[in-house]
Every structure is written in C-alpha cells, then in structure tokens.
Structure 1
C-alpha cells in the first residue's frame, strides 16, 4: 500500500472512531453502570450520562487511527497472489495485530472513562491522576488482555466491501452478533477496570473475573448490559465502517484531483 493509502486510513479511521465514540457515549455509560459491581442505580443511574466523555474524546481518534493504519499495513505486508481462500485468514491476522497496537491507546482511555462513568461527582483528570499516584502506569493497563481478546473477536467478523452502505450494513450485523457472543468478556473487562487496587480481580485474570461474576450473579451477571452493548456496537458498526469507507473514498477523490 502506498503512502497516500496509509494517510487515508489514518484520517478515515480516526474520524470514524471519534464519531462513533461521541455519538454513542450515553449507551456506553448505561452499559458500564449495568455491569458495575455496585449496580446500575448506585453507579449513577441515568444521571451524568456524559461522565468520562473527555477521556473518550481524547483517546478515540488516535485509537481508531492506530487500528486502521496497522490493519491496512499488515494486510499490505502479507499480501500475495495466492488463492483467495486465504484472504479471510490474512484479514484476521491483520485485525489481531491492529487490536494489539490500538489497545495500547484504548485501554488507558477506557480505564479512566469507565471509572468516571461510575463516579459522576469525580472529574476525569482527578481519576487519571489518582490512578497514576496509587497504581502507576500499570493501573492504566488493567484489563488489557480481556480488551484485546474482546476486540479481536469483534474485528474478525468485520470486513470492507465495495460500497459504503454495504460496509455499514455488514458492520452493524457483524458487530451486533459479536457483541452478544463476547458480552461476558466485556463484563469481565469492566469488573477488572473498576476493581479496587490490590484486589484479586484487579490483577486482570479474565477467567477469575468471569468466575466471580458467575458465582455472585449467575448467567444474568455475565450478560449484564447486553442490550445497550449490542445496540451500541450495531449502530457503531454502521457508523464506523460507513464513515471509514466514505471518508477514504473522499480522500481518494481529492488525491486524484491533486496535480
């Protein structure tokens, strides 16, 4: 892939990601509060629905841009003239590599955002500074493994097709299905990120977190917040892939008109 292609992926991915995160932020807040150990009402209910939005706003563009630039680069790197039956494998490999890179940006933003979502009265910057003071950099990377696993499973079900509307429809359908399947992982991620420092859950063991939820709340706990989760991911897939594909098309058109 040539340099203009990298630039288009960078800008388009960043714009699409930022748009989705900000438009669908209230749904994400509701989902987080439903999944929190203290319960929906004690976590804030419907109050302060935009708590934590500064963290999302700061992290969304570089996170999405990092994903798509890595995704396009790895696809280009492993490109060959071999049978088309290997194409899905190449895309899965590219998506997995992209998630590992993107989560380096996403996880710290997500940790701060989720803690702000369940602590309406505390400012985002104060939460960020408290994490650094009490836990150091590693505190910002709680839930990294569960986030990478969840995101990779989502991204394997998504791909680009020819037209913007096709990309949007495929993204919405694939995202909704993947959100339902990976909902327990999302619950585990939330519990790990919200756990008190020094607790067993805070160590980031995904299976341990899942077992704890199962033991205390059963199946309902593992699928807490699944409806807003599926709705947000479905709408996000529609907006994200549609905006990404359309933005790349527009940038490509501008590039072709340039001398």
Structure 2
C-alpha cells in the first residue's frame, strides 16, 4: 500500500466520529444553554462559569457518543498496511460480543477501557470549555473596539 491509501484507511470512521461529535456537542450545548437561559451567541451578563460548565458537559457527552467510532478508527489505522482494514461494524460487533459475557459492570469497564472514555471525556471537555471561553473573550474584546 503506497501513496495516500494508508491515510484513507480510517476515513469513514473519522468522518462518522467527527459528525457524531459535532452533532451531539452542538445539540447538548444548545439544550443546556436554553435550559439555563444562556444566549448561545454572546451574553456577557451571564456567569462565564455556567457557560463553561455547559461547554464542559457537552464536550463530555460528545466524547462518549463518538468514542466507538474513534476506537474503530484506531483499529483500522493499526491494521496491516497490505490488508484491507476491518469494517466499523465488524470492529464494534467484536467489542459488543466481548462485553456480553462479563455482566454489566465488567462490560462497562471493558467499554470504558477500550473506548478511553475517562481520558477522552476529560480532554475533550476541558478543551472545548476553555476553547469556547477563549473564543467568547476574544469576540467580546473585538466587539468592544467597534
């Protein structure tokens, strides 16, 4: 396998992961902002900690929901370059079958370990909450200059 082919191995899992992440992050964030009465465009009167909390939680939800596709992507990229990568379905089906015989807690622990949910949740949640805070602060700074 040469050229761009190795980089395209996990493209469907990558696109699926990113689409699910963006969709779930946006919906969760919008719902939380609405429930808390925070205007998602720019409401400087609201407490920034409330908004960061909403962004943090939305990032975590998105990380958890997109993690199966991130796992599939990692498996696809780790597959032998000369062989066809396993499908997303076959990868996730394999993990599902592994969890079935372990009971609820054992299965949940296996999923958490395989999907890297703990680390992914924290990294994504912190990144999105601080990223949005920096964006809002920069936007407010330039809006005041006008």
Fold equivalence (TM over 0.5): yes
Q: Which residue of 1 aligns with 2:86?
A: 123
- Cα deviation code 1:42-92 (max 9, x no counterpart): xxxx86112222222223223211101111221222226xx9465321221
TM-score, normalised via structure 1 length: 0.38
Structure 2 portions without partners, runs of 5+: 101-106, 140-146
Matched, 1:111 2:65: no
TM-score, normalised via structure 2 length: 0.64
**RMSD between aligned residues:** 2.9
Matched, 1:149 2:122: yes
The size of the alignment, in residue pairs, is 116
Q: Which has the higher contact order (CA 8 A, sep 6+)?
A: 2
Matched, 1:134 2:98: yes
Structure 1 portions without partners, runs of 5+: 1-45, 167-259
Aligned-partner Cα distance in 2 for 1:99–1:54: 22
Aligned-partner Cα distance in 2 for 1:117–1:91: 36
For residues 23-172 of structure 1, the aligned pairs below 5 Å read 48-79=6-37, 84=44, 86-119=46-79, 120=81, 121=83, 122-125=85-88, 126-136=90-100, 138=108, 139-141=110-112, 142-159=115-132, 161=136
